[in-house]
Amino acid sequence: MGATLPLKMPTIKLEARYLYLLAATGGLCVVLVLVRFLYLPVVAQIRERRVALQELQVKMADVQRVTEELPNQEAAVRKAQERYRLFHDRLGKGQSVARILEELDALAKEKRLQLITTQSSVEEGSERFVTLGPEIVLREIPLTMQLTGRYRQVAEFLGELDEAPFMATVQRLSLTKPDREESRLKADTTLTVYLADRMPEP
């Protein structure tokens, strides 16, 4: 049997700079792992929450705007209902030619005018109608008026027809002065008043 020679393991001597480089490389790997699996998910989560918060702020702003506009919309609805109610009062079932003639006579007396009013005859089947939308149909009633008084009184009478409790339009107006020395004049007027032939209740 031969003698067994002991094996000698080679010794590796690393310089300090290589050891530092190895440690730095290991630390960098740890940092990259932390960034990949810890930092980036946290950043993404924060970004998502920030976007969600911005969307929530936009929605809250919309809710606040709608809440602020709601009283204005309710007021607008009430105003529209009131306008329609007044419109209905001027044209609805409670209105009639006799009532309109009474209103004209009262307005003429208020303005100190002499008034003669006649309803123009309309042959059956030749009545004229005005359609305002699908639910409102108005019937035209022609009236002939003769006013006698001062120019200012006549002008005020005609001007206040817009505020009268009925609807009317002046179709024709002619002014004559019977006597040059008098300050009074005569106004011949054709007036069209309107009554509801079909109109929904307010």
Are 82 and 141 found together in one domain? no
CA dihedral 68, 71, 75, 80 (to 10 degrees): 80
Are 144 and 167 found together in one domain? yes
Can you give the residue range of the structural domain that contains 81? 16-91
pTM: 0.55
pLDDT in tens, 17-44: 666 676 667 767 776 766 666 766 766 7
Does residue 183 lie within any of the structural domains? yes
Question: Are 138 and 129 in contact, with CB atoms under 8 Å apart?
Answer: yes
Does residue 1 lie within any of the structural domains? no
pLDDT in tens, 72-107: 777 777 777 777 777 777 777 777 888 889 999 999
Are 181 and 139 found together in one domain? yes
Out of 56, 91, 126, a domain closes at 91
| Higher pLDDT among residues 117 and 43, named by residue | 117
